[in-house]
Amino acid sequence: MEITVAEALVECLERENVEIIFGYPGGAVLPLYDALYHSTRIKHVLVRHEQGAVHAADGYARVTGRVGVCIGTSGPGATNLVTGIANAYMDSVPMVIFTGQVPTIQIGTDAFQEVDITGITLPITKHNYLLKDPAKLSMVIKNAFHIAATGRPGPVLIDIPKDVAQARISFKYPSTVKLRGYKPTYKGHPSKITEIAKLFGKAKRPVIYAGGGVIASNGSEELLKLAEAISAPVTNTFMGLAGFPGDHPLFLGMLGLHGTRYANLAITECDLLIGIGARFDDRVVMNINSFAPHATVIHIDIDPAEIGKVITTNVPLVGDVKLILKELLPLIEKVDRSEWLERIKSLKEQYPLSYNRDSSLKPQFIVEQLWNHTKGEAIIVTDVGQHQMWVAQYYHFKKPRTLVSSGGLGCMGFGLPAAVGAALGAPGRKVILVTGDGSIQMTIQELATMMEQCLSVKIILFNNSALGMVRQLQEYYCEGRHMATNFQFHPDFEMIARAYGIPAYTFRTEEDVVKGLPEVLDSPGPAFVNCIVPPGENVLPMVPAGRGINESVAC
């Protein structure tokens, strides 16, 4: 019996155990939506903008570890997905994106709502397909999900012309993947593992530098065992936060541009730097010449292209973090590093995170209270900007997949739709969005999606009437000339929230937060809290451009 390609696509998704698809319909994807209408196993979530669909699929993927799925139509529907695809690519998030396309005979004719989306997304997808042969649908989808989820995860796009979606085929779903040339390395080379174990034994001042690859590989437990076995302090990249317990004595906090001074100084003083699932990006390394100048560098990563790309690596090891650490642990010999740990303790005491408290409501205080009430049990979603960095500094993530944020791309507008995806991916969990007044206005329409899906997301808005992070950069690099970063008009956020049927509050003082925040967080249903914070509050510490990681501007 023959079925349409669109019907076969839905059958394929069901075989891949897809539960939720985020999307926005249009003419070129009508056959897909008509086929979805008959599915009893897949829930479709209607967003209010295609960017909301891709960010929601991203949030879903980050909290579940599964492949996120979204759909957009041709032309503007497809191009509206591009930012979110780039975001997923930069942060190694597994995702499969379906776009509609004009009929094959019209491709290349500048037909209505035609864009070359495979060409546009070639640099920001792990792989993409323009499906012209209906018979290849099943194998393309099987391969796409495999590519997205294996090796270094990432987004895969499948563009389907409308006439192909309507074609009829005999359906059969392949049981195996056939991909010549795509064979990610998972097991580490035995001789390199032995060499690394020996370096552990010789080092006097080791530091573990862990990134998002630890979380992607589900290797957090092994990382904790390694740190304790070799008595090495651990610092996380922003994407690595939640990969190591934030309240552990060995934890140094985040490093880099807005990292703790003691993390940056520990990197400067270490004699062995163990990079695990991290890519030595510019926000971490800052000045290459002064990054870990005395250290032998070990780099463990599943992506061979990242090793040696930025920092000279003495011992490279390609493979899956979890598997490699499991092989390393039995080879480790206990070494007394009490002197190094005392030095770390003194750095923490000498350079603690701090901020000046006065009569205004400081954002750092809000994050501290958020931590005090949740103790790391909530899923924290952020947008991008100052609020994001304050969360990174003052919230002590304890469990993997409890931070959802845009790292590599730094995408404002990510937070609200990502919170929708996170809440749908983790039903029953407390999901809290911390956002800024600039970020939330980019995708504020997704409040409708949140309410339509009956999600109990708590929204904490840091309202400083400014694009705070850019404003801060203008203070340092533009001699305080604040051009286009102060909002001259601001909406009534409480009124907007209530228009969507969301209970809303405004906090102006520390007392408001202490009294009101627990009530908001513990109440059933969604909530919107508008926190009025000072526009001049900056994120510190901060490493000025061109300086070494050890040259932070102090709090």
Spatial contact of 22 and 53, defined as CB atoms under 8 Å apart: yes
Q: Average pLDDT in the 172-187 region? A: 93
DSSP string, 351-375: S-------SS--HHHHHHHHHHHHT
d(CA 257, CA 287): 10
Residue 50, pLDDT above cutoff 90:
yes
Nearest to 281 by CA among 232, 237, 319: 237
Classify residue 376 as exposed, middle or buried by CB count within 10 Å of its CB (0-12, 13-18, 19+).
middle
Q: Residue holding tokens 């991916």?
A: 425
Spatial contact of 499 and 432, defined as CB atoms under 8 Å apart: no
Please identify which of the residues 51, 101, 114, 162 carries the catalytic annotation: 162
Measured in whole angstroms, the distance separating CA 323 from the mean position of its chain's CA atoms is: 23
Residue 555, pLDDT above cutoff 70:
no
Rounding to the nearest 10 degrees, give the CA dihedral for residues 311, 94, 393, 352. -40
3-state secondary structure of 465: coil
List Cα–Cα distances, 131 to 10, 112, 161, in angstroms: 15, 19, 7
Please identify which of the residues 19, 43, 113, 132 carries the catalytic annotation: 113
d(CA 163, CA 172): 20
d(CA 59, CA 307): 27
113 tagged catalytic: yes
Q: Average pLDDT in the 211-234 region? A: 98
Give the helix/strand (H/E) hosting 196: helix 190-202
* DSSP code for 554: P
Give pLDDT tens digits for 81-117: 999 999 999 999 999 999 999 999 999 999 999 999 9
State the sign of the Cα–Cα–Cα–Cα dihedral 111, 114, 115, 119.
Answer: negative
Q: Which pLDDT score, from 0 to 100, does residue 469 have?
A: 97
Spatial contact of 122 and 128, defined as CB atoms under 8 Å apart: yes
Q: Are 2-170 and 190-350 equal in CATH topology?
A: yes
350 tagged catalytic: no
Express as a percent the part of the chain with pLDDT over 90: 98
How does the average pLDDT of the chain come out, rounded?
Answer: 97
Question: Hey, where are the domains in the chain?
Answer: 2-170, 190-350, 363-532
542 tagged catalytic: no
Nearest to 270 by CA among 241, 308, 310, 297: 297
Q: Which pLDDT score, from 0 to 100, does residue 1 have?
A: 76
Q: Would you identify the CATH topology of the domain 363-532? A: Rossmann fold (3.40.50)
d(CA 406, CA 168): 40
Q: Which pLDDT score, from 0 to 100, does residue 178 have?
A: 84
Q: Which pLDDT score, from 0 to 100, does residue 456 have?
A: 98
Q: What is the CATH number of domain 2-170?
A: 3.40.50.970
| pTM, rounded to two decimals | 0.97
Hey, what are 48's tokens?
């209010």
Vertex 204 angle, CA 203 and 207, to 5°: 75
Classify residue 35 as exposed, middle or buried by CB count within 10 Å of its CB (0-12, 13-18, 19+).
buried
Give pLDDT tens digits for 320-368: 999 999 999 999 999 999 999 999 999 999 999 999 999 999 999 999 9
Hey, what are 150's tokens?
């294996």
Please identify which of the residues 50, 269, 306, 537 carries the catalytic annotation: 50
> What residues does 301 pair with on adjacent strands?
318
Give pLDDT tens digits for 128-164: 999 999 999 999 999 999 999 999 999 999 999 999 9
d(CA 157, CA 122): 9
Q: Residue holding tokens 């699929």?
A: 57
Q: Would you identify the CATH topology of the domain 190-350? A: Rossmann fold (3.40.50)
DSSP string, 308-363: TSSS--SEEEES-HHHHHHHHGGG------HHHHHHHHHHHHHS-------SS--H
Phi, psi of 120 (to 5 degrees): -65, -40
d(CA 311, CA 330): 28
**In this structure, are strands 206-210 and 168-170 parallel, antiparallel, or unpaired?**
unpaired
Residue 523, pLDDT above cutoff 70:
yes
Residues 6+ apart with CB under 8 A from 321: 213, 214, 216, 217, 219, 222, 223, 276, 277, 300, 301, 302
Total residues belonging to the chain: 555
166 tagged catalytic: no
Give the helix/strand (H/E) hosting 210: strand 206-210
E-assigned strands of 407-473? 431-436, 458-463
Please identify which of the residues 239, 286, 469, 542 carries the catalytic annotation: 469
